[in-house]
Copies of this chain bind each other. A is one copy, B any other.
Amino acid sequence: MRHCDNLALLTDLYQLTMAQSYWQSKKSELATFSLFVRSYPPNRGYFVSAGLCDVLDYLQGFAFDQEALDYLKSTRMFAGEFLHFLNGLRFTGEVWAIPEGRLFFKDEPILEITAPIIEAQIVETFVINQINLQALIATKAARCVHAAGGRAVVDFSLRRTHGIDAGIKVARSSYLAGFSGTSNVLAGKKYGIPIVGTMAHSFVTSFEREIDAFRSFVQSFPDNSILLIDTYDTLGGARKAVEVAKEMARKGQRLRGVRIDSGDLASLAKEVRRIFNDAALRDVKIIGSGGLDEYDLAALAEANAPYDSYGVGTRMGVSADAPWFDMAYKLVEYNGRPVLKLSTGKVSSPGKKQIFRFAEGQGRLRNDVIGLRDENLPGAEPLFKKVMEKGKAQAPYPSLKEIRESFLDEFRRLDDKSKAILSPATYPVELSPRLQQLKDEIEQEVAQNELPLTRAI
């Protein structure tokens, strides 16, 4: 498979050309880069951290293989000595990060990398690629779980995620944020996520009669069948499922549930529920699916639609209403000198940082302060942990189940107004006085060094 490629080449060309220029001008001092999201997409009031584990694996294994170097040589862009240098290049730096499964907010660094500038620069593309995707999906999934109001939500998105890697990472990120399972078998194997599934319309249409399809399926899965009832007519399908459930009952078996995948999901669920209740089949579950996202789930909860759980697919798996974060990886310190960028609308904060989270008595989250790494704000939890030193990950990673539990715990502690599906309240985040002062100083310094020159020429 093509996915066994050397990932050191999975980078933007400019990372390598800049590296050659750094190398030729002998710039090898330590640089610190900071990864953060610059703005909230519509209807977002928080983010969920995810993807750190893949970043640490990548950094630990970072190396160009011979095939990669041969390709770079063939482009005739690079000096032979520089390619020789790349041959021996490993990631030797330090990483501080918010652990996976924590809430974070706009402008807060998720991760800061300190390493010789070539190393810290060259890994940018992969770091953003993975954390952007996984935090994006974990955030979308947390919104779905919240909107479902206690009903289980499972991931059905694999067929429309953007490729193979996304399919696997979406299953993990959504489970991390509170989903109950995934249809993705490979992700189930890889991460120990519960795998779930029902049947497809094609299964039904491959039989001459819908009821024959139902009978065949429950014979194969007498303990665990969920019948898809909307292939021809949902209420008709429900009545056939009742027949089958009664046949099963006579054998001491039990139909687990039915799935509705199209039509007016709120009213159909009520009618289907009545059909099963009238047949004394109150324990047959109803699963809803078909293009759902948090907006639909909130509307179904509002309408008291009697679903027991939901399959959520495409719109979650591509974060359809906000398919990317404005995530940036910016140089904030070079050779001990704090730096920033002033591009229109994109001013960054200088220096190595720490995030301080303040909570109230019962643990309810109150506000965050972004400070400098060496600050100590009494009463606050510092979110940044040192997760890599000298290129080696610090401790065994927490398990996915532990991450999921820690997320669900913290999410409960976030105010409902910040969790609103539409127009959430802005969670209070400010800069510490020391960071604010540093930022002002550097802005002024840059203005003296760079901007007057502009106007003078």
Contact = CB atoms under 8 A, between A and B. Distances in A.
A366 interface: no
A77 B247 CA distance: 22
B12 A1 contact: no
Interface SS of A by simple majority:
helix
Given A128-B159, A224-B77, A231-B343, A236 B31 contact: no
A159 B12 contact: yes
Choose among A133, A159, A209 the residue with the greatest number of B CB atoms under 10 Å from its CB: A159
Interface stretch (A96-104, A183-191, A418-426): A183-191
A195 B240 contact: no
Contacts of A183: 12-14
Interface residues of A, number: 124
A3 B165 contact: yes
A162 B162 contact: yes
Contacts of A163: 129-130, 133, 162-166, 169
B21 A203 contact: yes
Copies in the complex: 2
Contact of A160 (B15, B129, B346): B129
Contacts of A132: 159-160
A455 interface: yes
B324 A160 contact: yes
A304 interface: no
Interface string A431-457: 000000000000000100111011101
Interface in A100-129: 117, 121, 124-125, 128-129
Contacts of A186: 5-7, 9-11
A160 B220 contact: no
A75 interface: yes
